[in-house]
Structure 1
Amino acid sequence: MGLKEALLHWVFPRICTACREDLPPPLEGPLCGSCLLKLRRLSGPACRRCGKPWAGPEACCYDCRKKLSPVDAVRAVFPYRTPLPELLYSFKYGGRLWVGRALGDWMAGAFRLQAGLEGADALVPVPLHPARERRRGFNQARLLAQAVSRASGLPVVEALHRRRNTRPQWGLSRGEREGRMAGAFEASGPVKGRKVLLIDDVCTSGATLEACGRALREGGAASVRAFVLATACGCKCACGP
């Protein structure tokens, strides 16, 4: 490392987004080596619909078999476990767009290898309410969709409008989340006859994706699937410790 690089590192030290440890040169990116090793992609048997790890004899998990969904399939890159929550918090609430670019690159790279998403002809980011997007300065789902678009050639279509500025859903049950999201979106773009792929950062209960899927179906979409960066899978087997 040259004198200039050493001085820059001393004045502006790079820190791992997850563990906050010093990130010594020549390491680049948002994570140190130890935290990067914890970032494991989802693999192994999964539910055909929600994409969460599932090793049962049926194609779909128990929850997905209990009810119909406007979203035909959900696929995720990572389980929502450390260091993903720290990375997303830094991106969304810390305004660190360079972290978002790394997340988008990982998502775009995974898209090319992801089974179950073939045939889509439009990427539709899950919208923020306009007031929230003004405060944040960007919509994280749109930035992720743009990264996937660059890798896939699929167009990003702003086809959804968020009617209500819904409150954060932390700590709510699935039923409470579904009630809060009911009617929160409406189709506002050209989706009739299109095979839509919703893009979002995290899927927890699936309530947001289902509300978006319902609005897109009402707008005439031929099919709706979803691709997310992370899912709150709630498992131990396929995601690692």
Structure 2
Amino acid sequence: MMRYLAPYQTGLWLAEYLDIRCQLCRIYRSTPQAQLAHAYPSQSKENRDDAATQFLSTRPSLITKYRQQINQRFDSGLLCKHCHHSIAWLPKPFNVDIAAGTILPIQAATYYDYPMRQAIRAFKYHENMTKLPLLLHTLRQLPRPHGCHKNNSVIVAMPTTEQRLIKRGFAPVLILAAQLSKHWQIPIWQGVERIDNTVSQQGLTRAERLSNLDNAFALTEKPPVKRLLLFDDVATTGASLQALGQAIYSQTMPSTIDESHATDYYHIRAYALAHGSQS
């Protein structure tokens, strides 16, 4: 997977560590994450050193010239305060049913409005890398789920079909999920495949979305941990995440659950970059 993510990661390093301008307005200086309201804590020193080492190893001729500049830039962030506050509206979580008496809570990082709508579309449909820093900044506003860490949780990115991957040439949701994985320090698990050949969900009603996703997902292996964090780029009605959650639930849970052993079973939550209408 990292083979496909390397070009995007390099672009993000350049935007975050060498470019002092806000990645949205391009006017004001970017602001450290720690100084922004509702921001997740900045990277640890260990993560900073690791990122710097990886970046410099690909550009040995720049080591002497840029080492001090890079070290000073690690807390500079990606957006200025003005632009951050224009998008930092954490939507209220909403629930969808995935089984009788079982709900799937869905939390998005922001709303699917300007400028996020344009940025997501540009990245998703045209592979516009210049929009990726804005999307990454927004993802960082999602606090890591309480009690979840690398040893007990995995992120499950919304799978795509092989046909769509070939047509598009890259996997935008997986790229975003990889950035969330790095932010939360929780690994990605790719044990679900998309077996449908459905049409795009854009413009469909909720009933049409659910019908369009019938039998769309199948597990290829047993989840390695008990906490599964589903992720998609945009949650409109939550139908795609609901179908994914239903597939995982139905293929991992027994038909009856003894409440006294409820902790022995899987706990599923869902997250998205943006919530709103795609019509």
1:159 and 1:70, CA in 2 relative to 1: closer, same or farther beyond 3 A?
farther
Give the corresponding residue for 1:42.
90
- Structure 2 residue ranges without an equivalent (≥5): 1-21, 31-75, 254-265
Bigger drift between 194-203 and 213-222 goes to: 213-222
Q: CA deviation at 1:96?
A: 1.5
**Whole-Å separation in 1 of the counterparts to 2:223 and 2:103:** 14
Q: CA deviation at 1:173?
A: 1.4
Q: CA deviation at 1:35?
A: 6.0
- Within a 5 Å distance, the mapping from 1:2-81 to structure 2 comes to 23=26, 37-42=85-90, 46-47=92-93, 49-50=94-95, 68=100, 71-81=103-113
**Whole-Å separation in 2 of the counterparts to 1:156 and 1:205:** 24
Compute the RMSD of aligned alpha carbons.
Answer: 3.3
Secondary structure at the residue paired with 2:231?
A: strand
- Structure 1 residue ranges without an equivalent (≥5): 1-15, 51-63, 234-241
Bigger drift between 87-96 and 24-33 goes to: 24-33
1:184 and 1:103, CA in 2 relative to 1: closer, same or farther beyond 3 A?
same
1:29 and 1:84, CA in 2 relative to 1: closer, same or farther beyond 3 A?
farther
Give the corresponding residue for 1:6.
none
Secondary structure at the residue paired with 1:156?
A: coil
From 100, 121, 124, the equivalent of 1:92 is 124
Q: CA deviation at 1:137?
A: 2.1
**Whole-Å separation in 2 of the counterparts to 1:130 and 1:137:** 10
1:224 pairs with 2:268: yes
1:110 pairs with 2:151: no
1:79 and 1:180, CA in 2 relative to 1: closer, same or farther beyond 3 A?
same
**Whole-Å separation in 1 of the counterparts to 2:146 and 2:234:** 17
Q: CA deviation at 1:130?
A: 1.1
1:158 and 1:212, CA in 2 relative to 1: closer, same or farther beyond 3 A?
same
Normalization by structure 2: what TM-score?
A: 0.60
Whether the 8 Å contact between 2:106 and 2:269 is mirrored in structure 1 is yes
**Whole-Å separation in 2 of the counterparts to 1:71 and 1:82:** 30
Give the corresponding residue for 2:175.
143
1:25 and 1:34, CA in 2 relative to 1: closer, same or farther beyond 3 A?
closer
1:34 and 1:192, CA in 2 relative to 1: closer, same or farther beyond 3 A?
closer
Give the corresponding residue for 1:133.
165
1:203 pairs with 2:235: yes
Work out the number of aligned pairs and report it. Answer: 196
**Whole-Å separation in 2 of the counterparts to 1:148 and 1:34:** 23
Normalization by structure 1: what TM-score?
A: 0.68
1:24 and 1:214, CA in 2 relative to 1: closer, same or farther beyond 3 A?
same
Give the partner amino acid of 2:189.
Answer: V
Whether the 8 Å contact between 2:106 and 2:272 is mirrored in structure 1 is yes
**Whole-Å separation in 1 of the counterparts to 2:103 and 2:230:** 9
**Whole-Å separation in 2 of the counterparts to 1:231 and 1:143:** 18
Q: CA deviation at 1:99?
A: 2.0
**Whole-Å separation in 1 of the counterparts to 2:199 and 2:125:** 15
**Whole-Å separation in 2 of the counterparts to 1:85 and 1:31:** 17
**Whole-Å separation in 2 of the counterparts to 1:204 and 1:153:** 27
State the identity as a percent.
26
Give the partner amino acid of 2:276.
Answer: A
Secondary structure at the residue paired with 1:219?
A: helix
**Whole-Å separation in 2 of the counterparts to 1:150 and 1:165:** 31
Bigger drift between 84-93 and 71-80 goes to: 71-80
Whether the 8 Å contact between 1:192 and 1:219 is mirrored in structure 2 is no
Whether the 8 Å contact between 1:78 and 1:231 is mirrored in structure 2 is yes
